[in-house]
Structure 1
Amino acid sequence: MNYSTQMDAAKKGIVTKEIEIVAKKEKMKVEELMELISEGKVVIPANKNHKSLDPEGIGQGLRTKINVNLGISKDCNDVQKEIEKAKIAVKMKSEAIMDLSCYGKTQEFRQELVSISPAMIGTVPMYDAVGFYEKELSNISAKELLNVIERHAKDGVDFMTIHAGINQETAKVFKRNPRLTNIVSRGGALMFAWMNLNNKENPFYEYFDDILDICEKYDVTISLGDALRPGSIADSTDASQIKELMVLGELTKRAWERNVQVMIEGPGHMALNEIQANMLLEKKLCHGAPFYVLGPVVTDIAPGYDHITGAIGGAIAASTGADFLCYVTPAEHLRLPDLEDMKEGIIATKIAAHAADIAKGIKGARDWDNKMSEARQKLDWDTMFDLAIDSEKARIYRADSNPEDEKTCTMCGKMCAIRNTNKVLDNKNINILREDD
């Protein structure tokens, strides 16, 4: 039997190689996974032209996945640095990489990224349009914007952020309801500007069926962009955000009718006490589609530490319904992240995702922690290092401060609770002040 997309295959009862791989990774029965895919509650972003892909699933009942952003800008136009970041992101087991390049001719970079990456690749075509055509935004036609989407699809991109929810009606709601930080989505602001400069409907909304044609042809997952995501905790869960979410829910149903897979993008900046309600709103209004969130960043006062504010929000979001976390780095709001920023962002987000998986009861999530606890009980440092989420850093810290008793650390030395309890249970003297016998 033929199929057009992973969703189409699942509806027809066809077990694709991608479905088979994901089911094995998630310790899930193939039949259960296929039902979730057919209902739109799980997606497997897997462009037919991405030959190096090691597929992953995103959605209900699966491990929380993380995404790493990278890409060139006019001020930081070093392609090889971004390729190096991509290789490190893969080494650190990030499941997805988004190319957010917004300067110059980006196709060569994008194609190299697709060719070398087993991680799924995402892009934001709206960012690429100005450089692609070398035209001012207002002079780019609706057809030209759609052509950029097709170019990215041909290049093998697995998912694309499409800002289709900020239509003329949504824009009116935004204008009637003033915000502290207005529009902070780069793609959302570009589309809002295009609509106002040309006095026309958002082409991604008006020609959504044409976009579905492209996505069905290449099996590109649409990541419906949150153009009106809150950029401050003052703006979260406001009329603009919820109005756009309602439009995204309508577009989701239209995509599913064409067997096109969909994710929904979400906030943003948001106070802790609003996160759980927002996860519920998305799942209700968007019919259980996987939720992809940036952070959420839970306070606005920590530039330089937003990998922490984002990880706090991400852990709560993923434990209460989010399926996919976009990493936040210490450089958020300040600059293009460098390699060290990226590493810190990945680790913080992986911690958030894993903590959420424990809370959600994902199969096997606690096994990792239990193995670490067993190694700690045995004071088996090598195993602890091997199990650590950042083994390199753990080894450096250990080597930097040597204890008198090599089984302990320099925090407690021979007063180590585990050392002493183990000795007592083995009927041995703990010998804190003298050498062991």
Structure 2
Amino acid sequence: MAIALIVLAAGQGTRMNSDLPKVLHRIGAAPLIAHALAAGRALDPERVIVVAGHGADRVTAAVAKIDPEAEVVLQTEQLGTGHAVAQALPALAGFEGRVIVLYGDTPFIRPETLERLAEAPADVTVLGFEAADPGRYGRLIAQGTALDRIVEYKDATDEERAVTLCNSGVIACDAEILAELVADLGNDNAAGEYYLTDIIAAARERGLTAEVVTCPEEETLGINTRAELARAEALFQRRSRAEAQENGVTMVDPETVYFALDTYLGRDVTVGPHVVFGPEVTVESGAAIEAFCHLEGCHISRGATIGPFARLRPGAELAEDVHVGNFVEVKNSILGEGVKVGHLTYLGDADVGEGTNIGAGTVTCNYDGVFKHRTTIGAHAFIGSDTMLVAPVTVGDGALTGSGSTITQDVPPGALALGRARQVVKPGLATKLFEMLRAKKSALKKGA
């Protein structure tokens, strides 16, 4: 069956006390809405419609980066969830299939749960959960899996409030039926809003079937405050760590390792304590990430070792058996197989050939204040400690740079390049200078 998604993302999130739209706050280094879109995309939907409202320009820009095929529609007035869905339905004109309504601030619904929702045989299916503390959730009034109606807390009787089966807000419905039910919604309730949940009672009145599919409560967790955002981050990290371990990753101290939504670690990867994975990191099988590393936007191949205390920034591509050691930063650079960058080095906008050794304190001077320039280092070269490579510059295969050199011109293959001032030694001058300075310091103290 064809699937379409409607993702509601128009809320302001006033309790977040933020200028940032609620759905753009981050968990696992990704906006909340990215989590919802990722779960929905697992169903291979034909159409994805995001309903934006507060901060629509920022939400639209974020969605374009996360899911370029998604379409964003605008809800200019926030008149309830039913009204929000009504804004999306014209974009689904002609679509024949099942529509699933998701929420941009509910990041933990699993694809497997959405699959069960999509496959449910009822005309309308609602995702529910048994709440440990039902609080102000809407209640699902049901007999077994057959759903009679949904009652919002503010409109519920005491008897209905005693029900612990609660509404997540996620609904699946045939597109044509959904359009008919939403068109007939009214706003005769305590808030004066158009509730999407009212389509259940309307469906039953028409003789249509309505059912409940349930999931664990944690999957339905919505984010409304900073405290809830922090708790959600902790939950995301626990789930990510457990999944990594199940997939064959060793973590020395799992509680200190932090994942992003799209982090990929292969089998037999080893991760030391206090490692942070930012967005877009892939680590292939058998690589090792030592303690206190920060990685973002990089690809690490088999057998590579990183850290401790290393930073890999976007565009870092490391081939097999590369070693990047302590206090090394790599950005927008390609390191060939077996390259060694032991310590205290910055490689930015560089290409380094296989088997090359980069000495301590080496810097690729890639920025002239206006433009970035690239450094190219050939295979099996040796870059001496404290070498400044002033880009654009090329060091050929098998070449050698002397320690302390500033390299401003290309170095041919097999050549030795030295670019440092001649050392001058003045015997006894240091002693005389120190004596003079100490005498001056003593005189200043007496004068004070």
Structure 1 and Structure 2 fold alike (TM over 0.5): no
TM-score of the superposed pair, with normalisation by structure 1? 0.29
- Larger radius of gyration between Structure 1 and Structure 2: 2
The structure in which a higher percent of residues are strand is 2
- TM-score with structure 2 length normalisation? 0.29
Select the structure with the greater relative contact order (CA < 8 A; seq sep ≥ 6). Answer: 1
